[in-house]
Amino acid sequence: MIRMTILKNVDYTKVFAIWRIPPPWQPITKKAQGMRMGSGKGSIDHYVTPVKAGQIIVEIGGPIEYFEVKPVLINIAKRLPCHAMAVSQKLMDKMAQRKKIMEETNLNPWTWKYIIQNNMLGCHKWISKYDRRWFNEYL
């Protein structure tokens, strides 16, 4: 789907696309409809690629400007089953700078990072392993 959208909308003789994720490798199993519970694991239905939050999926480069490729990337982001957005290097730098400014100007001492690291209110019992790692940054 992503490859076909890029091929249709971008001149592939001038630009290139780099896939930043591996091909689908994780099998998803499914039992036939109407089967009873038990009797082991179902057969492989399809394969997927797990994508982490904040990961770049595809990178388009070459003699092309961001405004030319942005509509294509937005179209691809809409079709994905997860939240995605089209970004450029300038936009990623702005986002990192904005995040840094927010952390520096925050007057509230009770941040998620502080609460989780100090196990306030016994939060280690009820938070997920992802919250311990990312401090509730990616929901």
pLDDT in tens, 59-115: 999 999 999 999 999 999 999 988 899 999 999 999 999 999 998 998 988 888 899
| Residue 122 to residue 124: CA distance in whole angstroms | 6
Q: From 3.20.20.150, 3.30.56.10, 3.30.200.20, 3.90.1170.10, which CATH number describes the 1-88 domain?
A: 3.90.1170.10
pLDDT in tens, 17-26: 999 999 999 9
| pTM for the full predicted model | 0.71
Domain positions in the chain: 1-88, 108-139
